[in-house]
């Protein structure tokens, strides 16, 4: 009996850290490194602000840092493990819950057509993107005018996307892990309401593929009832280097031709616009238009036979407006739209850019511009109301004559 009670006491005793003192002080040193990083991330998370999942992951990092710092001074173990467990639970929940197949937007891999990768669901894109944007602004690498509204514009873009689509997986994680290749690359697809009448293939710029930029461009495409395909390559966004960019574009266009109908427009943003202006000649016979936003290659020549829209910010210092002006002078069926802003006009001046691109895409797809459609709708509504009123008046006169005859 006494042996049983002794065993019970041993079970009830708290877990005591009996690890060597050298290991515990080594943990303390690791905590000294991690704690300032955690404190800085807390400040950034408050300023951003972080997403709910990002805040929970950060809480786990803080618990780990506290556990490491307190290791030499406490007898019970488990604090560091609790932080790791919290992060693991958040990541597992995102993998299960963030499927990437909302009604209008989904992330797949091409050319196999597979579902989104697990790593694409691990973190919220906005957390990493806004943190990186704040670092870029703080580093002074961007001109003051372009940097001034970058974080605000990106935050606003993520708010619009999340309100419309909910949580989406991101191609950015796989991009920075080096997983994008012509054999298997992430592609975000955004559908319009109803049946798509054509497709825009959108090439991302420097820093890699981000869902928010694809989604924002896709809003103009959906106004024209076009689907949007956004393939991914490496972080440089150098679609013209080597053969990988061209092979990725080829695989994307081939998939669109296999599964869709209607016109195909090749589009690009920043480095993606430079790549599109260089690669378009390989695919010109299969395209119905070329759209270049905030960039083009200085030596590129416009393709013949397809309409081209050039959209640039008036004070863009990264891809100056003169590059597109020179491109337009070399021929082709080019139109230019000048938007008051810098390099980030796709997000910073999203309403103006959406309107300009949407009107042009409707014409490419053989639809009347939205303003004409609205005017025609108003005329049709007025005419139908007048017709209904006239019909009611005729009916009233007929009834009146019938009553007079009966008298």
pLDDT digits (tens, 9 = 90+) for 25-70: 889 999 999 999 999 999 999 988 999 999 999 999 999 999 999 9
Rg of the chain on CA atoms, in Å: 29
CA nearest neighbour of 128 among 193, 209, 234:
209
CA nearest neighbour of 354 among 199, 163, 224:
224
Whether 217 and 356 have beta carbons less than 8 Å apart is answered as no
* Three-state DSSP state, 55: helix
pLDDT at 100: 67
Average pLDDT of span 12-32: 73
pLDDT at 115 over 50: yes
pLDDT at 371: 57
Average pLDDT of span 174-195: 96
Q: What is the pTM of this model?
A: 0.84
Average pLDDT of span 345-365: 96
Hey, what are 38's tokens? 């955690």
pLDDT at 25: 86
pLDDT at 380 over 80: no
pLDDT at 396: 60
pLDDT at 236 over 80: yes
CA nearest neighbour of 313 among 335, 328, 333, 293:
293
Residue for token pair 């709910």 = 52
pLDDT at 392 over 60: no
Average pLDDT of span 365-371: 76
**Cα 343 → chain centroid:** 17
More confident residue, 387 or 161: 161
Flag the least confident range among 121-125, 147-151, 396-400.
396-400
pLDDT at 386 over 90: no
pLDDT at 252 over 80: yes
Residue for token pair 């031709």 = 257
Whether 202 and 270 have beta carbons less than 8 Å apart is answered as no
pLDDT at 263 over 80: yes
Q: What percent of the chain clears pLDDT 70, i.e. is strictly above it?
A: 85
Average pLDDT of span 70-85: 90
pLDDT at 281: 97
**Cα 187 → chain centroid:** 11
Flag the least confident range among 17-31, 152-166, 251-265, 285-299.
17-31
Show me where the domains of the chain are located: 14-97, 105-366, 368-407
Flag the least confident range among 46-50, 271-275, 298-302.
46-50
Question: Given CA atoms 55, 65, 174, 44 in this order, what sign does their dihedral have?
Answer: positive
pLDDT at 147: 85
CA nearest neighbour of 116 among 209, 218, 221:
209
Q: How many CB atoms lie within 10 A of CB 281?
A: 13
Model confidence at 402, in pLDDT bands (50, 70, 90)?
Answer: very low
Query: Please, which residues have CB within 8 angstroms of residue 190's CB and are 6 or more apart in sequence?
Result: 104, 105, 214, 215, 218, 221, 222, 227, 228, 230
pLDDT at 368 over 70: yes
Whether 279 and 248 have beta carbons less than 8 Å apart is answered as no
CA diameter of the chain? 118
Hey, what are 402's tokens? 């019938």
Average pLDDT of span 74-81: 87
Average pLDDT of span 80-98: 95
Enclosing H/E stretch for 221: helix 211-223
Alpha carbons 8 and 191: distance in angstroms, whole number: 63
pLDDT at 383 over 50: no
Average pLDDT, the chain: 88
CA nearest neighbour of 169 among 151, 183, 182, 187:
187
Average pLDDT of span 83-102: 90
Alpha carbons 212 and 193: distance in angstroms, whole number: 19
Average pLDDT of span 3-26: 59
Model confidence at 304, in pLDDT bands (50, 70, 90)?
Answer: very high
CATH architecture of the domain 105-366 equals 3-Layer(aba) Sandwich (3.40)
Hey, what are 148's tokens? 């001034």
């Amino acid at each position: 009996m006494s042996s049983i009670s002794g065993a019970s006491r041993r079970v009830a005793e708290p877990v005591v850290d009996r690890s060597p003192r050298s290991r515990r002080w080594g943990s303390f040193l690791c905590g000294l490194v991690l704690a300032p990083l955690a404190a800085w991330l807390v400040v950034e998370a408050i300023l951003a602000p972080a997403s709910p999942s990002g805040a929970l992951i950060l809480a786990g990092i803080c618990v780990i840092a506290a556990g490491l710092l307190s290791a030499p001074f406490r007898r019970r173990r488990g604090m560091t493990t609790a932080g790791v467990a919290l992060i693991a639970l958040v990541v597992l929940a995102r993998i299960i819950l963030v499927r990437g197949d909302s009604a209008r937007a989904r992330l797949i891999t091409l050319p196999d057509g597979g579902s989104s990768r697990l790593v694409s669901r691990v973190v919220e894109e906005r957390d990493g993107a806004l943190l990186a944007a704040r670092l870029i602004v703080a580093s002074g690498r961007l001109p003051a005018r372009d940097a001034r509204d970058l974080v605000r514009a990106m935050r606003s873009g993520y708010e619009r996307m999340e309100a419309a689509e909910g949580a989406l997986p991101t191609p950015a994680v796989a991009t920075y892990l080096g997983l994008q290749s012509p054999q298997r690359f992430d592609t975000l697809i955004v559908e319009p309401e109803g049946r798509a009448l054509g497709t825009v293939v959108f090439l991302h710029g420097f820093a890699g593929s981000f869902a928010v930029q694809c989604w924002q461009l896709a809003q103009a495409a959906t106004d024209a009832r076009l689907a949007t395909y956004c393939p991914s390559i490496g972080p440089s966004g150098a679609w013209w280097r080597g053969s990988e960019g061209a092979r990725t574009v080829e695989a994307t266009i081939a998939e669109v031709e296999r599964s869709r109908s209607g016109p195909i427009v090749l589009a690009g943003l920043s480095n993606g616009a430079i790549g599109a202006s260089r690669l378009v000649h390989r695919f010109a016979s299969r395209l119905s238009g070329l759209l270049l936003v905030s960039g083009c290659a200085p030596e590129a020549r416009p393709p013949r036979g397809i309409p081209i829209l050039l959209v640039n910010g008036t004070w863009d210092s990264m891809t100056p407006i003169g590059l597109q002006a020179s491109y337009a002078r070399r021929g082709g069926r080019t139109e230019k739209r000048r938007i008051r802003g810098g390099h980030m006009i796709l997000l910073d001046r999203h309403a103006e850019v959406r309107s300009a691109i949407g009107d042009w895409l409707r014409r490419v797809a053989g639809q009347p511009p939205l303003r004409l459609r609205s005017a025609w709708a108003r005329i049709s509504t007025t005419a139908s109301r007048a017709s209904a009123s006239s019909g009611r008046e005729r009916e009233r006169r007929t009834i009146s004559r019938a009553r007079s005859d009966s008298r």
